[in-house]
Structure formats: C-alpha cells, structure tokens
Amino acid sequence: MKTILYIIQKEFKQIFRNKGMLPIIFVLPLLQLVILSNAATFEVKNIKFGYIDHDHTSTSRALIEKFNASTYFDVLTDFPSEKLASSEMLKGKVDVVIEIPHYFERDLQKEKYNKLGVTINAIDGAAAGVENVYVTQILQSFNQQIKTDLLQISDKGVQPISIATIPLFWYNKTLNYKTFMVPGILVLLVTMITLFLSGMNIVREKEIGTLEQINVTPIKKSQFIIGKLFPFWVIGMGLLTVGLTLAKLIFNVPMIGSLALLYLYTSIYILVILGIGLFISNFTDTQQQAMFIAWFFTVIFILMSGLFTPIESMPEWAQIVTEFNPIKYFVEVMRMVMLKGSGFTDILPQLIKTLLFAIVMNGLAVWSYKKTS
Amino acid sequence: MKRFIGFIKKEFYHIFRDRRSLFILFGMPIAQIMLFGFAITNEINNVDIAILDHSKDATTEEIINKIAASKYFSIKQIIEKEADIETIFKKGHVKAVLNFEKDFSKNLIKENKATVQIITDATDPNTANTISNFVNAILQKYQQELNKEITIAYQIIPETRMVYNPELKSVYMFVPGVMTIILMLVSAMMTSISITKEKELGTMEILLVSPLKPFQVIIGKVFPYIFLSIINAVVIVLLSIFIFKMPVQGSLLLLGLESVLFIISALALGILISTISATQQTAMMISLMGLMLPVILLSGFIFPITSMPFPLQVISNIIPAKWFIIIIKGIMLKGVGLQYVWKETLILLGMTVFFIALSIKKYKIRLE
C-alpha cells in the first residue's frame, strides 16, 4: 500500500511540475466547454434569403413582407434575374430563393390557385429540409390571409376537417440546445483528457527508457499500474466537478437527478477509459503511435455516440458497433440523470455494461502488460 | 543545397523505417471514412415511439397505421395511462408519445376538430423538434385526404427545387467533413512532434550546430509529410468517389491543388505547435485537445455556422478547416471553379504563410 502511495505521489509531482501541461489539462477543456457549447446548435436561423419578383404587385410585395417579418429569414436581396440569383447561390451568398412569376396576382385571382418557385441550397440536407418546412409554413399562413381577403361569399359554406396537434416538449420546453450539449461536451472533454494522458503515459517511459528501470525494481506490476493511473482518475473526477459547476453557474443546466448517482457512474466510467489508455500504451512503441490510436478511437467514439447525430438512424450494423462505445453510455446517463431525473434502476443497464467494460478492459490491459514487458 | 537534400533524405528514412506508424497512419483514416460514410446521418429513421390512445376508434387506428408505415417511426409500445409516459421516458428508449384525446372520431365528425398531443422527450431538442414536425406532416397529409371533397380556394403552392443535392443525402455533408477532420488532425499531429522529439531525445543540439538554416530545417521536416498526406488525401478522395458516390462536378486538378494547400497549412500548424512546446506530450496534447473539438464543432462540419452566436461566427474564421470545407463542397457538389473560391483559397494561403513564418521565428529564438 505504501509503495502505491509513493508512486502516486511521484506521478502527481511529475504532472504538476510540467508547467506546459497544466493549462492544457485544466484550462483548455473548461474554456472549450464554455465556448464550444454555444456552437453546437442544430437550430436553423438567419437563413440567407433572396427573391426574384416578376410581378411587382401588392400581393407579391405582401408575400415578400411575410418572409421579411419571419425571424428565420434574413431577407437579403431583390435579384433582378434568375441568372444572378443562381450565381449568388453558387457563391454561397444566398441559401433560399423564391421566384414570383409574371401575372402572379392576376392568375391567383382568376384561377384561385398559383405556383411559386422555391430554390433551396441542399448541400446540408437536414438544414434544407427545415428551410423547406419554414417556407411552407409561411405560405400556409399567407394563404389563410389572402383567403380572408379574397374569398367570395359563394365559396364559404363547408368547413374543412382539422386535426389539431399540440406539441409538448418534455424536460426542455424551450428546446434549449445548451442543456443537452453542455453535459455532452463535458463528457467528451473528460474522456479525451483521461484517455490521452493515460495512453501516452506508460509508452513515454518505454520511449525514454525508464520503464526498464522500473521493471527491475521490486515494485509489483499491479502496484505500478494503479499508482500510474490513479492520478488521472482524480484529474477526470476533478474535471467533471468543475465542469458541472460551470454548467450550473454559466448555463444553468438543470440537475434534476442525483449527483451521487452521476459520480458513481463516472467513477466507473473513467476506469474504462484508463483501461483503454493502458491497453493502447502496451501495444505501441512511441508516444506518437499511441496518440494516433487514441485519436482514432476518440473520433469514432465521439461521432458514434449519439451526441451529434441520432443513433436510431444509423444502419443496423452501426448500431451494434455503438453498443461497444463507452461515450454513448456516458452521454445517455448524463442526459437521463441530469435532465430527466432518472434513478438507479433506470440507468442500471448502462451501469452494468460500463462496469463490465471496466473489468474486461483493465483485465486485458494488465494481461497484455505482463506479456509485453 | 546538397546538405539540405541529404537532410530531407534522412527525414524520409526516419519515417519509412517505422512500419508500425505508417500502417497506423494509412490504415486508420481509411477505416474511419468507411465507418462514418456509411454510419453517420442526421436524418431521422426508425425512431421508437409509443401510443396512448384514449379513443381507440377507426380514425385513430388509421392514423396509427399511417405512422407505423412511415420509415421515420416504429411503434414500440402501446401504453394505457398518462403516468406511464414519465416511466418510459426515464428509461430512455422511447422518444415520443402520441396522446389521442377521448372520442377522437366523434369529435372530428361532430365538431370538425379533434386533438392529438405529440409529447417528445426534448432532452435532445433536435430529435424532439424533428419528430414533432414529421408527425405533424403525416397528420396534415391525412387531414388533406379527409378533406378531398372540399376544394380549398386561394392557394399558393410552392414548387421546391433542391439544388446541388436533390436527394438530400447526408453523406454529401459528412464525407467532406470527415475528410477535412482526418487530413487536418493527422497532418498536424504528425509534424507537431517532429521538433519536440529532437528536443526530448537530445538530438536537437546536433541540429542546432549543423550549418542548416532554420527555414531549411523546417522545410526539410515538413516535406516528407506533405508526401505522406497527399497519398492519404488521394486515398480518401478515391474512396469518397467510388464508394460513397460523391460527385466531383468541378475540376479534379483544382480539388487536388486545394487539398495540397490545406495539408500544408495543417502541417505548418503542427510545426508551429512543435516549436512552442517543450515535450512530445505537450505537443500532442495541444494538437489533440486544442484542435479536435474546435475543428469538429466550429468548421461547419456538423453544425451550421450561420446559426451560431455572432462571436463564435467570428472565431470560426480562424479555423482553417472551415475554409477548406467551403472549398471542397464548392468544387465537389457545386462544380465551381477558382473564380468562386479564390477568397477562401487566399485565406488558407495566408494562414499557411503565417504559420510557417511564425515557426521559423520561434525556432530562431531557440537558436540564439
């Protein structure tokens, strides 16, 4: 026990002596949490909108005014020609263009019906879909308006059937992205810091040649590994604590569930990540190799975690892959406990899987460590 | 000049001797782009929802069938009371509950109006919003079917044209993004340790006393990696064309040149990190911790930059990846030439020159 304490002490000293690393471990992640959480929003707003008005009547102007009044669209330009509009769209200066045809008002009165050309830049398919919904909504409300303006008595009579939908957004009434993204990004930062630090640590001793010195000392391997990894576990838990505090103070993220439960889960989760780090360390010769592999898994874990894109939409095989993604469970648990107040039994499946990963990963790491040394 | 060539040769040997690193370097990006190209999508498919039907009549049954038939939703559970909603949301699998009011059909016939609640688990606001919109659209369509006999007067019907990506494929969005992340981080990580490694292993002094000028050392260090990264870029572009059917509407040559420019900017950024950090560990932590999330979040890869708060839109301008994503999307999907992306190209070029100049300056300081 004493030996472990000495190693832990030594490792802590080593971390705190390296003045270049301290800001990277403690300041950089928190700075990113505060800044980048604001970037992660799928909300589509400030859409660059242009129009081509061939009609120049009060109806066409009223329609454009409708778009102008909407908070989603930034009405930019009145394009004199279609050619200019598509050239501006190529440049990326405009994303949605409507083209009001000649005799728009006249035909609308005559036929009671008219068409409107809408062109949407669809490179970002999801955003284009949302933009399309916005355009349709504005047109629907415009239709209502002209109906009351233009409708003749003979048209009235039959009432159309309507199904009223009431959308209710539970746990996040205002659809505030930050309450979801702040805990998610905190998960990423805790994971990255603990994985990168532990992944590089032992291989560094290998590269510099000090690992051999340790191998000839009477220290047991288990003592050595626990002593090495414990400081990173502490750093991870510390980062979580400061991150949660910032989340509450700056972003006012709700914390409905039990914090103790969150800490219980995180304490096991970090063990999984440390196990992966140690495992990577054992199978690489240089810090660079270790970092490339750590980076490889981190990018996969992040993009397949369900934080940025929904897991349900992935193909079946990819969904099976995500079952082995620790970040996915951490994101789920954060979301469930903090925002919904899920209890111990609700997160039990995630907890058990994470515990299982911790045992398997650390078992593998210790086993392979013996093998390679 | 001869000395310089000798130095470059030495650097090449160093890299190619390390087979394991090379395998990692080339194998990983390929694996990543394959995985992400097939798996990542921000479309909504097969979302599990639950039904709470207080009415249980022919109309609600018809609506439920329509919902179940759509590719967006699969009905996971039928629940009987309001209290169950909370329970299933807390377990986390079901994302939405449709709550039909009592006497749905009767109300529709008698009062021409019936109500259904779309209750979503909005802890993920994006999914919640999309689900709500999709259910709404299905119900609207059903409503139109019911109203078929009544001609509705005065309608403006949009004829929507989705340009550059008519099928709204999300792979068109993700392949350029993943390509950018891989090139950016692999390149920066490779060079970020090139000088620190010499410092840490003690070979730096030898370099310092050699007659090579600082800029020769820097160029010599970057050069082999340009070569490696180009191979990486070619492989990635080929994969995206042949496997993900990404179009290249514009000039392939321009795409190649822009990629080389972007690679050099990332390598130069790596060198800059290398000159300012004392150990390999610091260098790698800066290039990983400092670059990974900003590049993923601020480049417009996943999240639209125009929706971000203004200060972040300003910050996004210093992310080289942002400009490269605009350029490659322009060339691949819109088919534009240099006349449309010259501004972005100049910005990348400016950044590259800046990184290199600063590295040489920093390197010199240590020399004195």
pLDDT tens digits along B28-71: 888 888 888 888 877 778 889 999 999 888 889 999 999 999 88
The pLDDT of residue B90 is above 90:
no
In chain B, which residue's Cα lies nearest the Cα of A139?
A: B156
* Inter-chain CB proximity A38 and B278 less than 8 Å: no
The pLDDT of residue B285 is above 70:
yes
Most confident of A272-281, B44-53, B104-113: A272-281
Q: What pLDDT sits at residue B146?
A: 80
H-assigned helices in A210-309 = 210-215, 221-251, 259-282, 287-303
Mean pLDDT over all residues of chain B? 87
Q: For chain A, say whether B105 makes contact (Cβ under 8 Å).
A: no
Q: Averaged over B190-207, what is the pLDDT?
A: 82
Nearest CA-CA distance, residue B136 and chain A, Å: 7
Mean pLDDT over all residues of chain A? 87
pLDDT category at B79 given cuts 50, 70, 90 is very high
- Rounded (10°) CA dihedral B319, B325, B327, B329: -170
pLDDT category at B342 given cuts 50, 70, 90 is very high
pLDDT category at A152 given cuts 50, 70, 90 is low
Which contacts qualify for B249-256: CB closer than 8 Å, 24 or more apart? B249/B331, B249/B332, B249/B333, B249/B334, B249/B335, B250/B330, B250/B331, B250/B332, B250/B334, B250/B335, B250/B336, B250/B337, B251/B331, B251/B337, B254/B331, B254/B337, B254/B338, B255/B328, B255/B331, B255/B332
**Is residue A48 within 8 Å of B309, Cβ to Cβ?**
no
The pLDDT of residue B201 is above 90:
no
Furthest C-alpha separation in chain B: 95
* Inter-chain CB proximity A313 and B150 less than 8 Å: no
The backbone torsions φ and ψ at residue A106, rounded to the nearest 5 degrees and listed phi first, read -60, -50
Half-sphere exposure of A131 (CA within 13 A, CB side): 29
Q: At what angle do helices B252-276 and B338-367 cross, to 10 degrees?
A: 20
b/e sequence A348-365, b meaning 16+ C-beta within 10 Å: eebbebbeebbeebbeeb
Q: What pLDDT sits at residue A249?
A: 93
The pLDDT of residue A210 is above 70:
yes
* Inter-chain CB proximity B165 and A123 less than 8 Å: yes
The pLDDT of residue B273 is above 90:
yes
Give me the amino acid identity at A54.
H
Q: Averaged over B192-212, what is the pLDDT?
A: 80
Q: What pLDDT sits at residue A262?
A: 95
pLDDT category at B151 given cuts 50, 70, 90 is low
The pLDDT of residue A371 is above 60:
no
B209 vs A100, residue with greater confidence = A100
**What count of CB pairs under 8 Å joins A to B?**
368
* Inter-chain CB proximity A42 and B150 less than 8 Å: no
pLDDT category at A129 given cuts 50, 70, 90 is confident
Q: What are the distances in angstroms from CA B253 to CA A43, B50, B281?
A: 36, 52, 38
Q: For chain B, say whether A91 makes contact (Cβ under 8 Å).
A: yes
Q: What are the distances in angstroms from CA B187 to CA B39, B105, B140, B279, B286?
A: 24, 63, 50, 18, 14
Q: Select from B54, B82, B113, B124 the residue whose CB has the most chain A CBs within 10 Å, as the one to mutate to test that interface.
A: B124
Q: For chain A, say whether B160 makes contact (Cβ under 8 Å).
A: yes
Q: A325, A335, A334: which is closest to A357 by C-alpha?
A: A325
Q: For chain A, say whether B330 makes contact (Cβ under 8 Å).
A: yes
Q: Please report residues of A whose CB lies closer than 8 A to that of B303.
A: 39-42, 308
Give me the amino acid identity at A99.
E
Of A20-29, A112-121, B148-157, B262-271, which gets the smallest average pLDDT? B148-157
Q: Averaged over A259-278, what is the pLDDT?
A: 95
Secondary structure E strands in A54-112: 73-78, 96-100
Q: Please report residues of B whose CB lies closer than 8 A to that of A159.
A: 112
* Inter-chain CB proximity A24 and B42 less than 8 Å: no
Of A310-319, A353-362, B13-22, B204-213, which gets the smallest average pLDDT? B204-213
Q: Please report residues of B whose CB lies closer than 8 A to that of A155.
A: 153
Structural domains in chain A?
2-40+176-368 (no CATH), 47-154 (3.40.1710.10)
Residue B307 is nearest to which of A45, A114, A304, comparing CB atoms?
Answer: A45
Nearest CA-CA distance, residue A99 and chain B, Å: 10
The pLDDT of residue B368 is above 50:
no
Q: What pLDDT sits at residue A76?
A: 76
The pLDDT of residue B131 is above 70:
yes
Q: Taking the model in full, what pTM does it have? A: 0.87
Q: For chain A, say whether B310 makes contact (Cβ under 8 Å).
A: no
CA-CA distance, B127 to B252, in Å (whole number)? Answer: 37
H-assigned helices in A166-215 = 178-208, 210-215
pLDDT category at A167 given cuts 50, 70, 90 is confident
Residue B125 is nearest to which of A92, A180, A291, comparing CB atoms?
Answer: A180
> What tens digit of pLDDT does each residue of B154-179 get?
678 788 888 888 888 888 888 888 88
Q: B228, B178, B28: which is closest to A289 by C-alpha?
A: B28
Q: For chain B, say whether A312 makes contact (Cβ under 8 Å).
A: yes
Q: Is B337 helix (H, G, I), strand (E, B) or coil?
A: coil
Q: What are the distances in angstroms from CA B189 to CA A132, A204, B193?
A: 41, 16, 7
Residue A125 is nearest to which of B169, B278, B315, comparing CB atoms?
Answer: B169
**Is residue B294 within 8 Å of A38, Cβ to Cβ?**
no
Q: What pLDDT sits at residue B367?
A: 46
Q: What pLDDT sits at residue A159?
A: 65
Looking only at the bridges linking them, the beta strands covering B113-121 and B96-100 are: antiparallel
Of A60-69, B40-49, B201-210, B353-362, which gets the smallest average pLDDT? B201-210
Q: What are the residues facing A120 on neighbouring strands?
A: A96, B162
Q: What pLDDT sits at residue A205?
A: 84
Nearest CA-CA distance, residue B262 and chain A, Å: 20
In chain A, which residue's Cα lies nearest the Cα of B330?
A: A90
Q: Please report residues of B whose CB lies closer than 8 A to that of A36.
A: 293-294, 297-298
pLDDT category at A157 given cuts 50, 70, 90 is low
Q: For chain B, say whether A3 makes contact (Cβ under 8 Å).
A: no
The pLDDT of residue B140 is above 70:
yes
Q: Averaged over B111-116, what is the pLDDT?
A: 88
pLDDT category at A323 given cuts 50, 70, 90 is very high
Most confident of A76-85, B163-172, B281-290: B281-290
Question: Structure tokens of B331?
Answer: 């060339």
Of A73-77, B233-237, B271-275, which gets the smallest average pLDDT? A73-77
Q: What is the DSSP code string of B210-267?
A: SS--HHHHHHHHHHHHHHHHHHHHHHHHHHHHHTS-----S-HHHHHHHHHHHHHHHH
CA-CA distance, B260 to B263, in Å (whole number)? Answer: 5
pLDDT category at B363 given cuts 50, 70, 90 is confident
CA-CA distance, A230 to A279, in Å (whole number)? Answer: 15
Give me the amino acid identity at A366.
V
Q: Select from B71, B284, B332 the residue whose CB has the most chain A CBs within 10 Å, as the one to mutate to test that interface.
A: B284
The pLDDT of residue B277 is above 90:
no
Q: Strand B73-79's sheet: what is its strand order?
A: A162-170, B113-121, B96-100, B47-53, B73-79
* Inter-chain CB proximity A39 and B186 less than 8 Å: no
Q: Averaged over A312-321, what is the pLDDT?
A: 89
Q: For chain B, say whether A289 makes contact (Cβ under 8 Å).
A: yes
- For chain B positions 215-274, those within 8 Å of chain A (CB to CB) are none
The pLDDT of residue A243 is above 90:
yes
CA-CA distance, B262 to B236, in Å (whole number)? Answer: 14
Q: B129, B122, B53, B46: which is closest to B84 by C-alpha?
A: B53
Nearest CA-CA distance, residue B35 and chain A, Å: 8
